[in-house]
Homo-oligomer: A and B are copies of this chain.
């Protein structure tokens, strides 16, 4: 089982599959193919939820799904086989119990179920589940992991700025609940209800489905919009700063 020759083949497969073992820059050819399959799988999963697209193309989507299922199963088994070659030389069981590996297995199972005859309502949810594969892209991109790291370093700032945002949101929800609530009980009749309006206003999304109608309600809504524009800049600035720093590090 562990003759040098066999080991040598397993090592070469591991080099082709594990981005952390690769010495050259960029992705290996095998990972490029996997990346392409993931993107195809996401596109198929997204478009597969739209009846206008799938109607009359059921066989095409069936074929794509079958190919993707086989490909991801082969890839999973191959990565399971070469698991002991990875950093820290984990056992295959420990590799299987990793969060990333469990997620990959869950995606494969979610793609298998439709072939076993799942209900159509469930089937649509299963198609959507596939999007967790987007998280795998992070594993292949050094730049994306750097962004995550940088954000973790600025956790304190993020928490404080989100606390300020949340505080302002609670304050303006309460004011609108007090002054607008009696006139529009459906939209402002409680603080949690008023928060839907507060989020739309503070983020400047401003759907307009819920709007204050009284003079006092409009006055406090205007104050909220004006201060909100400044407050929402705090978490925004932190994320943008972390991204710029991560890109700087990535270049070096």
Q: List residues of A whose CB falls within 8 A of some B CB.
A: 42, 45-47, 49-53, 125, 128, 131, 134, 137, 141, 143-144, 147, 156-157, 160-161, 163-165, 167, 170-171, 173-174, 177-178, 189-193, 195-196, 199-201, 203-209, 211, 218, 222, 225-226, 228-241, 243-244, 247
Contact = CB atoms under 8 A, between A and B. Distances in A.
Contacts of A192: 46-47, 49-50, 53
Given A49-B191, A128-B174, A196-B218, 7 more contacts: A50-B192, A51-B189, A196-B222, A208-B209, A209-B211, A234-B240, A241-B244
Contact of A243 (B128, B189, B237): B237
A160 B134 contact: no
Nearest to A247: B157
A125 B178 contact: yes
The SS class assigned to the A binding surface is helix
Instruction: Give the number of times this chain occurs in the complex, counting copies.
Output: 4
Contacts of A147: 160, 164
Nearest to A162: B226
Given A191-B49, A206-B200, A206-B208, A240 B239 contact: no
Nearest to A45: B191
Given A170-B46, A192-B50, A244 B237 contact: yes
